[in-house]
């Protein structure tokens, strides 16, 4: 039995990707096989295609870190122990292999599709919700009543972080690259939106907080931003870096870190063990999935494209025109 996949002919631009065919993968112990209806598109996919994001040992070389679809195969006892059965709709975080008609996923990294959501919406959840929950809620320990600055508020990470932070009872500031994107962030619940192309976010944070600063910053930029972010944090503030779109090198005032007792942390999710991701899955299922089911938190889909149009999806991702998530579809998606 074979499946359609997205293959790359070599590292480069979106045109290196094309439809291919491979044998359907086989689920091993602790895994299940998903018939994929939709695959989320994420910035790490672009980096991998460009040759800047090596595949972790043992992971599929096929692009794609999140999928939604139906359970096609798996050990029935293991499925039952996890509360699943064949044919159930699930979404899953994977370390690779998502751009295909079938995808093997660890059972512990699979979650039921929240009630009322389509497969396209469900495919947009795992990568960003796992990442934001792990870094904003666990590593940065965001508390009710605190103030958070989210860099890149209109990105897939950003639209998720805005909603989770508001759900947690925080005051939310964001940066975005246009007036339209700022308006979109405000519509999602942000309390203030800073256009980083026309405003200095450090000055705006100082103005918005009467010079006090913010408690938490979620950063997808790093590089030169870190120096300003250290200035923006109040005493005992926490900076969580989850991407380095602005570069890997940062120079900042270490004296401020000492005097203000700051915490600077960061993480990447893909290479972490299944047990770590399983713990995040349980936390999301308990805390976030009910809010998704009743509409308090909503997936934000910018566009869905057929899998054959993957090059256009990646070009759109690189253009940064989107607000929210981009999703690939494989046949029927409802």
CATH superfamily ID and name for 129-266: NAD(P)-binding Rossmann-like Domain (3.40.50.720)
Task: Break the chain into its structural domains and give their ranges.
Answer: 2-125+270-329, 129-266
Q: Report pLDDT digits (tens) over 221-242.
A: 999 999 999 999 999 999 999 9
Contact residues for 98 (Cβ-Cβ < 8 A; gap 6+): 36, 39, 40, 62, 63, 64, 65, 66, 67
What pLDDT was estimated at residue 333?
A: 45
CA atoms within 13 A on the CB side of 53: 25
2-125+270-329 is classed CATH 3.90.180.10? yes
Q: How many CB atoms lie within 10 A of CB 156?
A: 29
What pLDDT was estimated at residue 85?
A: 97
Contact residues for 56 (Cβ-Cβ < 8 A; gap 6+): 95, 96, 270, 271
Rounded CA-CA distance 201/26 in Å is: 49
Q: Which regions of the chain are under pLDDT 50?
A: 333-334
Contact residues for 50 (Cβ-Cβ < 8 A; gap 6+): 11, 12
Q: Residue 78 to residues 18, 25, 265: CA-CA distances in angstroms?
A: 35, 18, 36
Identical fold for domains 2-125+270-329 and 129-266, yes or no, is: no
Could you tell me the pTM of the whole model? 0.95
What pLDDT was estimated at residue 334?
A: 43
What pLDDT was estimated at residue 331?
A: 84
């Amino acid at each position: 039995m074979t499946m359609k996949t997205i293959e790359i002919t070599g590292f480069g631009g979106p045109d290196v990707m094309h439809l291919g065919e491979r044998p359907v993968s086989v689920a091993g112990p602790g895994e299940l096989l998903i018939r994929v209806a939709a695959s989320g598109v994420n910035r790490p996919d672009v980096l991998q295609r460009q040759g800047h994001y090596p595949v972790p040992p043992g992971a599929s070389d096929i692009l794609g870190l999140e999928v939604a679809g139906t359970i096609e195969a798996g050990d029935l006892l293991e499925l039952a122990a996890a509360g699943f059965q064949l044919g159930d709709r699930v979404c899953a975080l994977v370390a690779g292999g998502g751009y295909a008609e079938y995808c093997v996923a660890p059972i512990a990294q699979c979650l039921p599709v929240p009630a009322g959501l389509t497969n396209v919406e469900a495919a947009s959840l795992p990568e960003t919700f796992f990442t934001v929950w792990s870094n904003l809620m666990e590593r940065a320990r965001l508390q009710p009543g605190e103030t958070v600055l989210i860099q890149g508020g209109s990105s897939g990470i950003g639209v998720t972080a805005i909603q989770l932070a508001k759900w947690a009872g925080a005051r939310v500031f964001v940066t975005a690259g246009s007036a339209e994107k700022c308006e979109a962030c405000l519509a999602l619940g942000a309390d203030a939106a800073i256009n980083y192309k026309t405003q200095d976010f450090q000055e705006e944070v100082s103005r918005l907080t009467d010079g006090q600063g913010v408690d938490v910053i979620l950063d997808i930029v790093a590089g030169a931003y870190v120096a300003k972010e250290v200035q923006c944090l109040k005493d005992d503030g926490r900076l969580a870096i989850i991407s380095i779109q602005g570069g890997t090198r940062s120079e900042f005032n270490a004296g401020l870190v000492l005097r203000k007792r700051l915490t600077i942390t960061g993480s990447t999710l893909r290479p972490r063990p299944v047990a770590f991701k399983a713990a995040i899955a349980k936390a999301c299922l308990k805390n976030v999935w009910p809010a998704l089911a009743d509409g308090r938190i909503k997936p934000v889909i910018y566009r869905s494209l057929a899998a054959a149009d993957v090059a256009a999806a990646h070009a759109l991702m690189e253009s940064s025109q989107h607000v929210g998530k981009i999703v690939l579809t494989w046949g029927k998606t409802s």
